[in-house]
Amino acid sequence: MQSILFVCLGNICRSPIAEGVARRLIEQRGHNIVVDSAGTGNWHVGETPCEHSVAVARNHDVDISQLRARQVKKADFTTFDLIVALDQSNYRDLKALGCQNLVKLGDYGHGGADVPDPYFFDGFEGFENVYTMIESCVKELLNR
């Protein structure tokens, strides 16, 4: 595997965390894998990750503050070896666009569970829980 694209809905919370965690682990392990993230929606294009995502990543020594949201495009399906959807809804949307090289992040150590959108939790704790799940799944993904 030479390249991975993590995809969530808006590319401002879950997928940037996954990208940041993957970058850190890839660097620590000395792998040569290109990593990026994108969203299925276009309403946050050009924005930085949300403040809580930046903070929770920073608390774990991961800097995602320089990332910018972008929308997934069909060319990504051939550019990246693996497209990783953060939940079933994104998985379905990507399949509908014709993506073949697609997996769900929760399939790696979490029995196929969706990585929940932290905006549906009250306060910062939801972001911490999502970070923990993403980190364990990305570790498992990179171990395969």
Spell out the long-range contacts of 70-74 with Cβ–Cβ below 8 A and sequence spacing 24 or more.
70/11, 70/38, 70/39, 70/45, 70/46, 71/11, 71/38, 71/39, 71/40, 71/41, 71/42, 71/45, 72/5, 72/7, 72/38, 72/39, 72/40, 72/97, 73/38, 74/98
Task: Report the alpha-carbon angle 70-71-74, nearest 5.
Answer: 130
Given 13, 14, 36, 76, which residue is catalytic? 14
Given 68, 93, 107, 117, which residue is catalytic? 117
Q: Is 117 among the catalytic positions?
A: yes
Q: Is 81 among the catalytic positions?
A: no
CA dist., res. 134 & res. 143, Å (int): 14
Q: Is 13 among the catalytic positions?
A: no
Given 8, 13, 50, 137, which residue is catalytic? 8
The catalytic residue positions are 8, 14, 117
